[in-house]
Structure 1
């Protein structure tokens, strides 16, 4: 088994693609990028230099993944999603001189296993999107998203929890959360970092 690259796609020779990965028309994959097995890179999508992408990741049409982003296994990136990499974007320096690649420090977005980024959402680096989290279409993420969180809006805020199947979890009388698709149970608990953040963990049943 090998990868498939459409004729109009641009894949740098130093990029590495895993078996079963498909790169569709007009997509661009820059130097030293790494993509795992079974990935799909949609039409017009962009993968920056040195970006790391795991197995079974889907980048929909015109998604822009700028370096040094990391996408773990099973991540979904919807159409026209943008993962930024510059906290203080300027075309020129204070003297009006054009900035070059070495004139700024790139910062990345880390998208953990199974997370989904809805169409036209924007992740403003540096942020981490937690495991199996879901970012709604059009949301703008400016701070870290907990595992299993459902976030919406500008700026994005948590409005609920989702399970591995993607369905919104429902609360139970005993204080746990349940996936209506799979029946999996989850427990809400305070974060370990002494912040006011609440996290969700999977419960063994």
Structure 2
């Protein structure tokens, strides 16, 4: 059974066992959240969002429609996700271009991810990076725009669930 703080607004019933949702989090009714996730305070998860198992979403993160997050992903505080490449007030696309985070990806604090990008398995996005294109699996990226610094190899620790 999930643990949901009394001061959160959780409208979804699709929340996995062992997931914790802290105060001032808002989860809309269509959102799907896996098992053993940690959704920190001051977060928003819209309707068309899917989170896998063991995902951590730190404070100040807003997950907009179209975002897909696989198992074992870490999202640092105040990371920003965009889902509309041409945003205008009161003008909505037919479908939003969500960001896709593949298994084991880590997103650093204050990173910004533009619409439609995919971050590959076990890739790491540095704090403050601006991700404008796909990040390959196991790549470490940083900067504005984000550039590949190196690739993780077998000597780098990759946590196993």
The TM-score with structure 2 as length reference comes to 0.93
Higher relative contact order (CA 8 A, sep 6+): 2
- Gap regions ≥5 residues in structure 2: none
Structure 2 residue 140 is matched with structure 1 residue 139? no
Deviations 1:30-89 (A, max 9, x none): 121000100000010111112000000000011111111000000000000111111001
Structure 2 residue 139 is matched with structure 1 residue 149? yes
The TM-score with structure 1 as length reference comes to 0.73
TM-aligned CA distance change 1:180 to 1:56, over 3 Å: closer
Number of matched residues? Answer: 157
**Contact 2:48 2:64 (C-alpha < 8 Å) held by counterparts:** no
Structure 2 residue 6 is matched with structure 1 residue 7? yes
Q: Which runs of 4+ in 1 moved over 6 A?
A: none
**Contact 1:15 1:29 (C-alpha < 8 Å) held by counterparts:** no
1:87 pairs, out of 82, 85, 88, with 85
SS for the counterpart of 2:100 is strand
CA distance, structure 2, for counterparts of residue 80 and residue 121 of structure 1? 8
Which one has a bigger Cα radius of gyration? 1
- Gap regions ≥5 residues in structure 1: 92-98, 163-176, 183-205
CA distance, structure 1, for counterparts of residue 148 and residue 72 of structure 2? 22
CA distance, structure 2, for counterparts of residue 22 and residue 50 of structure 1? 20
**Alpha carbon RMSD of aligned pairs, Å?**
1.4
CA distance, structure 2, for counterparts of residue 60 and residue 153 of structure 1? 21
